[in-house]
Amino acid sequence: MRNRTVGINVRVTVTEKKKVTMLAKKCGLSLSAYLRQRALEYEPGGHPPKEVFNVLDKLDEIAEGCTPATCAEIGTCADRLRDLLIGGN
């Protein structure tokens, strides 16, 4: 159940709203979630474009058709890329 029951109204210009909406979308967040995180001093990271995930999926497909040693090497590289791109450790 949602605990958020209190609203905060903020007036902005049309340009400001467009910019904040774009930043929220870039992070894969709703406008409310983005503003909440920023207000609470959390800096949300950007969300990679869909094409990045398509390339990583293609690397996995290539690895499946290779020798076991090559497959493991490609898999390790793909995992490293995933970690760098989507915030893994």
DSSP secondary structure string, the chain? -------------HHHHHHHHHHHHHTT--HHHHHHHHHTT--PPPPPPHHHHHHHHHHHHHHHTS-HHHHHHHHHHHHHHHHHHHT--
Maximum Cα–Cα distance across the chain: 60
Q: Name the band, by pLDDT with cuts 50, 70 and 90, for residue 11.
A: very high
Q: Which two tokens stand for residue 31?
A: 């406008």
pLDDT tens, residue by residue, 29-51: 889 988 999 998 887 776 677 78
| pLDDT greater at residue 2 or residue 42 | 42
State if pTM tops 0.85: no
Is residue 89 pLDDT above 70, yes or no?
no
Angle between helices 68-86 and 50-64 (to 10 degrees): 170
